[in-house]
């Protein structure tokens, strides 16, 4: 039995808090959680605050975030007192891209948008998770068709790391109820029709009945709406 299957067997049937406790007990400071301060990530941060374990936290500041994201970032630090390591894009790469193509090149082609995502998100991510054994995320299966094909634990071949999604099978209603019950700070944009919040120029509110990620890179085809952070195979 390989390591993924072994861990999966141990985690089957456990709730999210118990999954995080298992990760903390078996991997400790070799496990890291990525937060973008969305409601799912806030749920996991609340649980990590309860655990007070050794799991590390980080976030990617692309330089194009909403003011509301910084607001909830500050509120999260105030409430949980958990250090959240910030990773930024390499200044030279941003300067070169913007100098050659302008500040809004990502609207012009999928290739340009992926270049921007790589510089602002993918490269910093690789630095953030380097040396860790487990990467924890707030991904839920119903967030998109692509994510519905994933599993709550998987091997990320691209980044050579185990990925675990503790609330993978939660519904949006469960997330929202957990937020209210535990008085968890969250991004006020969620109350304005933003279910998925990324960079400000690339995110907008959606209409009732729209796909969860319809507001991300809305000018592109639905099939292309991933930035590459959660691509697990080459």
Catalytically active residues are 227
Beta bridge partners of 65: 199
Query: Tokens representing 229?
Result: 């952070």
Assess contact for 32 and 96: CB atoms under 8 A. Answer: no
> CA 109 to CA 55: how far, in whole Å?
38
- Which residues lie closer than 8 Å to 208 by C-beta, 6 or more apart? none
8 A C-beta contact, residue 48 and residue 35: no
Indicate the helix (H) or strand (E) that contains 162.
strand 161-164
Cβ contacts of residue 117 below 8 Å, gap of 6+? Answer: 106, 227, 228
Helix (H, G, I), strand (E, B), or coil: what is residue 57? strand
């Amino acid at each position: 039995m390989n390591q993924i299957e072994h861990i999966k067997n141990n985690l089957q049937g456990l709730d999210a808090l118990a999954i995080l406790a298992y990760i903390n007990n078996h991997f400790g400071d070799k496990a890291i959680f990525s937060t973008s301060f969305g409601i799912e990530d806030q749920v996991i941060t609340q649980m990590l605050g309860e655990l007070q374990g050794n799991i590390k936290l980080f976030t990617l500041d692309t330089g194009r975030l909403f003011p509301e994201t910084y607001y909830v970032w500050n509120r999260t630090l105030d409430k949980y007192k958990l250090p959240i390591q910030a990773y930024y894009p390499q200044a030279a790469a941003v300067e070169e891209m913007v100098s050659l193509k302008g500040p809004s090149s990502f609207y012009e082609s999928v290739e340009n948008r992926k270049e921007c995502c790589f510089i602002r998100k993918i490269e910093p991510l690789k630095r953030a998770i380097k040396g860790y054994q487990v990467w924890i995320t707030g991904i839920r299966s119903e967030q998109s068709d692509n994510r519905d094909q994933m599993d709550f634990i998987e091997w990320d071949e691209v980044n050579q790391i185990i990925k675990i999604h503790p609330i993978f099978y939660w519904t949006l209603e469960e997330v929202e109820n957990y937020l209210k019950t535990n008085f968890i700070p969250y991004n006020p944009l969620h109350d304005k029709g933003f279910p998925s919040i990324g960079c400000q120029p690339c995110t907008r509110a959606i209409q009732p009945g729209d796909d969860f990620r319809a507001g991300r890179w809305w000018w592109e085809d639905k099939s292309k709406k991933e930035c590459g952070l959660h691509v697990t195979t080459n």
